[in-house]
Chain A
Amino acid sequence: MFKNKFKLSLSKKQSKVESDRDGNEPKENMIPSATNSFIQAIKDATHNPSDLIVKSIPPNLTLIFIENLVDERTLNDHILNDLYKKPSESPELMKSLLSIPLLNISNLLDDALSSMMTGTVIIHIDGYSQVVLANIATRETRSLSAPENESQVIGSQVGFNESLSTNVSLVRRYIMNPDLCIEKTKIGKRTNTSVSLLFMKGIASEEMVNTLRQRINSIDIDAIIDSAALAEMIDDNSLSIFPQMLLTERTDKFCDGLMNGKLGVLVDGSSMAIICPQSFIEFFQSREDQNLRWQIASFLRILRFSAIFLSVYLTPLYVAALTFHYEVIPQAFLVPLSESRALVPFPPVFEALLLEFIIELLREAGARLPTKIGQTIGIVGGIVIGTAAVQAGITSNILIIIIALSALASFTSPSYMMGNVIRIIRFPIIILAGFWGFYGIMLAFCFILIHLLRQSSLGTPYTAPFYPPRLKDWRDSIIRAPFSYTSKRPTSSRPVDDEKSNPEPVNPEKS
């Protein structure tokens, strides 16, 4: 409800802007033929910044570019050198003369300006209302490195970096197929950020591609700095705490998604790629599961799923049992539990919230601080605060174990975004458990379950393959069945071609 209104107002604004543009006289956008007025026009449009370089080459050429955006060596070797030797008479002639792959001729000032901002040299010839645009942008990017937030033991160790073109080339290196479609658009009225939509033609559902394309294009916003913000804008329910699109910096995970009929979005300047549609269960599947033997991968997946429940419900259960339901505590556990609680002056709910708060503080401090100090924080927090709190009688040591266990469990989620959610939804459940005991926990559980059932990711059910039941997809959900049993693509992304592999054994002698 909320979001629709928001989008509606955005699209209205957009159409207004467009009509404004159309109303202007076309002449203003044309490139002036006289050199002086051309230079003036560019300077006016860019507010004469200090890094704007205007270079005249006698007799009639003018080069305009932005320092540091263009590659100086190419500029010297392939443009200046050639132009000094053989001055050209017309833009067409020059285009055939220059030995640069990306050359364009344009007569629009806006065109020239926007391409100058991405590292293009504008070459103007006096007397022509056309300019040659030579793209010699520098590729200043961080070198490729292992994905730090989603590390894995077995598997490729390369992650996306901040350059869109590098990221696209990485994907191309995994999927060497002309069917890999890449659609580029620009979002952000003021930042002009490039956003690429990637999908496999012949696998991905056309309908879904259209939906996503439409969602991306209907965004009207000033600036997109990172893909995470874009993901929140284009997902189905922006108000939900659960992310409906996966953000990953793993190239292999991204390509795996594409090959399963999912759609990918890459944003220039962001090292995180968006994959959608994504069901709730898939947030807890690691790409590494495909690289391990299926028994081990299944065990690890079960471990991860039990970790969710442990993480979400262990502390509330402690609070509820100690506040209301002393009957359910096993007799052998009764004595140690009550003894450890004997000195604590607070009710269990307050005690639990306090400790959870401390753990969150530690995590946040560790994330914000430089890596070297971050480790110290862990030691200070874990050992000093932990033992001191027990000795001071503020908390019971059993609760410390429980809190530490649930914090640890929440970090097993392969998606950092989902791990955050798991940690945060614990707080309301603890409070409810402190109010109403098991009844409160059940209430929270039902609430979360209903919420999850209502969500969708790009129109596909969020709780698939469990509800609606897709029995065949269960083979690759909580467990990972051997590859011979998962020869079909998951139905949740509605692939056009669902055949993934030939289930016939590769080695017929064995069977």
Chain B
Amino acid sequence: MKKLRYFIIIILLFVSLVGCAETKILERIGVTTLVGYDLGDDEMVDTTAIIRQVSPEFQSRVEIITTKDKTSKGTRIKANLRSSKKIQIGQMRIVLFGDDVAKDGLRYYTETLLENPAVSNSLFMAVVEGRTQPLLEYKYENIEDIGQHIFKLVEQNITNEHLISSTLHEVAHDYDSIGMDMSMPILKRDKEVIAITDVALFKRDKMVGKLSVNDSFYLKLVRNNFQSGMLETVLTKDDLTSSLMKNSPDGIPLVFDTVRTVRDVKLINQKTPEFDLHIKMNARLLEIKSDINTGDPKQIAALEKAIKKNLTREISRVIAYCQEVDSDVFGFGEVYRSSVRNSNLTHEKWHEMYKEMKVNVKIDFTIIRNGIFE
């Protein structure tokens, strides 16, 4: 009987503790799906939040609230003052930064996001050319929910492996790991359309340069193995052998997609870091604007050789550019750190070495399929 009495007391205690759990009933909260940060005057932060509100008329609408304050949390307090519902950020899917913020440094933003357990680590991060506020506040004709639209846009392109994935988790990893820098897509409004135009390159948390979306293919190629992704390139005169030159005097535009790539990076010199980058690539020829007979093995072999030459040149160019802006988005530093014992590498040390770095690019390119178009 004594046991039973204790049991009842414990149950009653449990029931009386109910007041402690904070409820967030779905239709009584404002669900933030997107947040954009801009630099304001006097070191203030301008926060633009896309908040999905559910109104009793069975229609959900999107509300855009812009607030100014010194911290991002401060802006949330202010946003609450303007909203009829408690603003929650647990459903946030994408965070945008104006390029002034990106150039100023993102460290503080990523850290507050990481510290909040309600925020998903799989949210995407992107940079906006110019300020985010006008991009978000513009009344698009065909876009109903801009937060959802931008999220789908970025997600679609990342899952199709056109871009380097820039989730909060990966960005934070790249930021914290020595010898690797982060990168994010850059969005831009072009009249009624929002498009991904470039890829931002960072040195630590500051944006230092950008690559075109087409170049981001090479970036991905060097950075990791991947299974899909399409590239359009133009084979120029230098690449082509005389036999292929006959019919196309200016160069051959072609599109291929990768079926599989295997990437291998080896450090061969420790003093002034020198790497052997070996990429094996199986591809599928999708489109070629030329009279080349793709059924002829000799022609294909010549084409492979030409593409190889072209790819090597392009990759070297991209690496050289990244070295110029001092952003190691490829993660060569990681390879260096893992291959050299007691290297005691720091961010500063690596960035000094990075400028001197040499990369020998070697590519095996095989066309394993052609003539099958989707």
Contacts and interface: CB of A to CB of B under 8 A. Distances in A.
Given A331-B93, A334-B91, A326 B24 contact: yes
Contacts of B23: 323-324, 347
A124 interface: no
A338 B120 CA distance: 20
Contacts of A489: none
A343 interface: yes
Contact of A435 (B18, B27, B59, B93): B18
Interface of A, secondary structure class, is helix
A342 B58 contact: yes
Nearest to A432: B14
A331 B52 CA distance: 11
Interface in A335-354: 335, 337-339, 341-344, 347-348
Contacts, number: 68
B1 to A, nearest CB: 9
Contacts of A344: 27
A342 B31 contact: no
Given A331-B148, A347-B25, A342 B56 contact: yes
Contacts of A435: 14-15, 18, 21
A237 to B, nearest CB: 15
A238 to B, nearest CB: 15
Contact of B31 (A334, A339, A343): A334
A334 B148 CA distance: 12
Interface string B79-114: 000000000101101000000000000000000000
Contacts of B58: 339, 342-343
Interface string A41-67: 000000000000000000000000000
B91 A327 contact: yes
Interface string B3-23: 100000000001100100111
A342 B31 CA distance: 14
A240 to B, nearest CB: 15
Contact of B29 (A326, A343, A348): A326
B26 interface: yes
B60 interface: yes
Given A335-B52, A343-B56, A435-B18, A327 B26 contact: no
A253 to B, nearest CB: 37
A335 B60 contact: yes
Contact of A322 (B14, B15, B25): B25
B342 interface: no
* Chain A: interface size category: 20 to 34
Contacts of B29: 326
Contact of B91 (A329, A341, A347, A437): A329
A339 B25 contact: no
A149 to B, nearest CB: 34
A436 interface: yes
A116 to B, nearest CB: 46
Interface in B47-81: 52, 54-56, 58-60
B193 interface: no
A316 B274 CA distance: 59
B180 to A, nearest CB: 29
A322 B59 CA distance: 18
A317 to B, nearest CB: 13
A354 to B, nearest CB: 16
Contacts of A321: 26
Of B33, B91, B148, chain A has the most CB atoms within 10 Å of the CB of B91
Nearest to A326: B26
Contact of A324 (B21, B27, B54, B91): B21
Nearest to A323: B23
Contacts of A338: 26-27, 31, 52, 54, 60
A341 B148 contact: no
B267 to A, nearest CB: 42
A323 B25 contact: yes
B118 interface: yes
Contact of A323 (B14, B24, B93, B151): B24
A325 B117 CA distance: 12
Nearest to A348: B25
B52 A327 contact: no
Interface string A409-442: 0000000000000000000000000011100000
Contact of A329 (B25, B26, B60, B148): B26
A343 B27 CA distance: 9
Contacts of A437: 21
Nearest to A440: B21
Contact of B26 (A1, A322, A331, A436): A322
A324 B26 CA distance: 8
A324 B56 contact: no
Contacts of B91: 326-327, 329, 331, 334
A414 B129 CA distance: 64
Interface in A256-276: none
The 10 nearest A-B residue pairs measured at CB: A327-B90, A338-B54, A341-B27, A322-B26, A338-B27, A342-B54, A338-B26, A435-B18, A323-B23, A326-B26
Given A331-B91, A339-B54, A343-B56, 13 more contacts: A324-B21, A326-B24, A326-B29, A326-B88, A326-B90, A338-B31, A339-B60, A341-B54, A342-B56, A348-B25, A435-B14, A435-B18, A437-B21
29 contacts: A1-B3, A322-B25, A323-B25, A324-B22, A324-B23, A326-B31, A326-B88, A326-B91, A327-B90, A329-B26, A331-B93, A334-B26, A334-B91, A338-B26, A338-B27, A338-B31, A339-B60, A341-B26, A341-B54, A342-B27, A342-B55, A342-B58, A343-B58, A344-B27, A348-B26, A435-B14, A435-B15, A435-B18, A437-B21
